[in-house]
Amino acid sequence: MRVFASLLLLLLINICNAHPSADIPDCVEATLISQVNNFCSADAQYATTAAKPTYWFKFVATKYDVNITVSGATLASPEITLSADCSGTQLPGTSTITDNVTSFYKGGLIVGATYYIAVSSSSGVPGSFKLCINNYNPVLQAGQDYATALLLCSTQTISQSKVSGAGNNNNESMGTCLDNPGQANEQNTVWYKWKAANSGNLVFTLTPNKKTDDLDFVLYDLGLTDDEANINAVNAVRCAAGSGVSCNSGPSYYKTGLDFHDFDLSEPGGCGAGQNGKVEYLTLQQGHYYALLVNNFVSQNSGFTLEFADQEGVRGDAVFAGPKAAIDQVSLNSCEPKQSFVFTSQATNYESLKWNFGADASITSANGIGPYTITYTTPGPKTVTLEASTANGCIDVDFKTFNVGQKPTPPQIIANKPSFCLQDNLVLSASQQPGDTYLWTGPNNFTSDSPEVNIPITSKQQAGVYKLYLTRGGCTSDPSSITIPEIYDAPQASFYTEPAAPAKLSIPAIVKFYNQSTDADSYLWDFGDGVTSSDFSPQHSYGVKGTYKVTLTAFKQSACSASITKGDYILLDGGGLLIPNTFTPNGDGINDEFIVSLTDLVNYNIRIFSRYGETLFQSQSTFNSWDGNFHGSPVPVGVYYYVIKAADLRGNPVDRSGYVTVIR
């Protein structure tokens, strides 16, 4: 028993009048659809936004008609417009909308021309959507009865814009799986027929534009003649009438057709278990005629797509009798100023030919086999089409899309500096343009396809010639090159001083600097007081009290450098030695450490003992002071003994000893 679905039809047919578009700037950044033969995006793949309420696409027409379908996900009431350029003028077309699915049809396209699709919402609310497009050659309108069936001449995908009514005879399918006791077998029908040019395998998929449409079909083998009398149940070789769109239980599907992966020959109406809308593929017999009846049991007048592939996208090898267009193309002097292209027809089974060589061609059109030698006055993408046709209206079109390119000017290479040392980074870059591709080559088998390369220098073998090839529009430039000179060892900065740092000195004080750097050829000393020197091992006199650090930078060929800093030098007024006899390490921030104030000493050593002779503190730095602790714990209040041994800047011994009292 066939399941009936309620008819929900909101039909809006609008022959669009030309008027300006408000979103011209976005048109320039339109998304390119490169495959326009029955292309569908993923569900909700695209989306408009509040900032860009119109989403733009563009495509190059390879055939004469286009059918565009937008299925709104969160985008409500989708609107589709088509333009021939970005000037804002829309092309008239036919638009229908049913349950948030909008279809747009336009015929008479110019093959090779670029067209722009604008998708928006009549409500103005942004949202996501799915887009499908089929650019195809128009076929005569399929009839509602076999007597007016449309003759198919190839297995190109067909976009059926609408299905309404069953013609003069709504029971031509009598005796097949479409039998519907008590009422007519056919509700809304279209008929197709063809002649098999080979004994190939036939598969096809019927996809309704609206997923709640229930499509059924019968396929007939009519034998060696296409006589209408052969339309009968005996010649029905495949049939599918099940419903997968409105069953409360059982199968759920909306596509139907012949498939390589199913083996039943017929599926009856209703929601039978195991039905999936797919029946086994058919091996055609060369020279036989075939007829396909498609019935939309619950039509919402939104049409369908007939694609000659199974539901996994696998095409059969069946060929329909009809013309076959084919182009042979030969390129001469590619990318050169005098480049040309030779086109020759390889078409078969035709009665007439029609060439279109595209924009800015030396010959715009022709009608013969060729060869035709064509040049173009402008660079860029071009499309050449060849239409092969017969007197009965069969048309087949082949096309070649290619680029007329010009060899780009060799790019200028910029290096981040003229020479390099080990451990440096070599950065090479060139100017960039959208669509350009790059190929770098260099020493040590270096290659890269980035416009800018960053190369860590780890070997002296990385010196040498680096080349860059730029490719634009399929044409590659002559190489640019840059020579990286000999790579040096990285300099190492090192020095020592007399007196050694850190040191406390009385002003004026003279410090001698001894350079121990390697792999360097020039030097810069910064003494920390605003004075610098480029001598190898200078000496410097400090005359102002303060704290100073000294930095030595060692250079190699002005290519690389290394620096080292030492300090501190504390310059004080006067000199001498001041040793306190008490301190109070109680944490109040006042006199908490035993600090020996001294200047101009070298080889300094201080030791502090308990009254039992145990060493509590020892240091060889005049910058270290005793905090009254031993192994991290405070020493008891009492008297302790210190011994200081040192030498002055002339090497004379400076020895001191005495007592210090700890008070808490």
pLDDT, residue 6, reads 32
pLDDT, residue 13, reads 32
Strand, coil or helix: 584: coil
Residues 6+ apart with CB under 8 A from 650: none
Could you give the CA distance from residue 639 to residue 172 in angstroms, rounded to a whole number?
126
- The string of DSSP codes covering 287-326 is T-EEEEEEEETT--S--EEEESB-TTS-B----BSS-B--
The three state secondary structure string of 214-241 is CEEEEEEEEECCCCHHHCCHHHEEEEEE
Q: What is the CATH number of the domain that holds 277?
A: 2.60.120.380
Both 103 and 226 in one domain: the answer is no
Both 331 and 237 in one domain: the answer is no
Both 27 and 128 in one domain: the answer is yes
Please identify, among 572, 593, 614, the residue that sits at the C-terminal boundary of a domain: 572
pLDDT, residue 53, reads 94
Peptide bond into 371 cis (omega under 30): yes
Q: What is the CATH number of the domain that holds 506?
A: 2.60.40.10
Domains contained in the chain, number: 6
Both 551 and 644 in one domain: the answer is no
* 170 CB neighbour count, 10 Å cutoff: 18
From the list 132, 130, 13, the residue with the least C-alpha distance to 72 is 130
Both 301 and 154 in one domain: the answer is yes
Residues 6+ apart with CB under 8 A from 588: none
Q: Which residues of the chain have pLDDT under 50?
A: 1-24
Both 521 and 607 in one domain: the answer is no
- Asked whether residue 480 is domain-assigned, the answer is no
pLDDT, residue 10, reads 31
pLDDT tens column, 352-386: 999 999 889 999 999 999 999 999 999 888 889 99
- Asked whether residue 316 is domain-assigned, the answer is no
- Asked whether residue 64 is domain-assigned, the answer is yes
Both 506 and 591 in one domain: the answer is no
- Asked whether residue 312 is domain-assigned, the answer is no
Both 335 and 428 in one domain: the answer is no
Q: What is the CATH number of the domain that holds 460?
A: 2.60.40
> Whole domain around residue 64: which residue ranges?
14-136
Distances from the Cα of 477 to the Cα of 110, 336, 407, 408, 442, angstroms: 34, 11, 5, 5, 17
Both 440 and 344 in one domain: the answer is no
- Asked whether residue 319 is domain-assigned, the answer is no
Could you give the CA distance from residue 377 to residue 165 in angstroms, rounded to a whole number?
52
- Asked whether residue 234 is domain-assigned, the answer is yes
Q: What's the distance, CA 160 to chain centroid?
A: 35
Both 298 and 154 in one domain: the answer is yes
pTM of the model: 0.53
Strand, coil or helix: 451: coil
Residues 6+ apart with CB under 8 A from 530: none
Both 85 and 43 in one domain: the answer is yes
Which ranges of 144-252 does DSSP label H, i.e. alpha helix?
A: none
Could you give the CA distance from residue 385 to residue 355 in angstroms, rounded to a whole number?
6
pLDDT, residue 16, reads 36
pLDDT tens column, 250-283: 778 999 999 999 999 999 998 888 899 999 999 9
Distances from the Cα of 327 to the Cα of 332, 344, 354, 360, 454, angstroms: 16, 6, 12, 20, 46
Both 398 and 433 in one domain: the answer is no
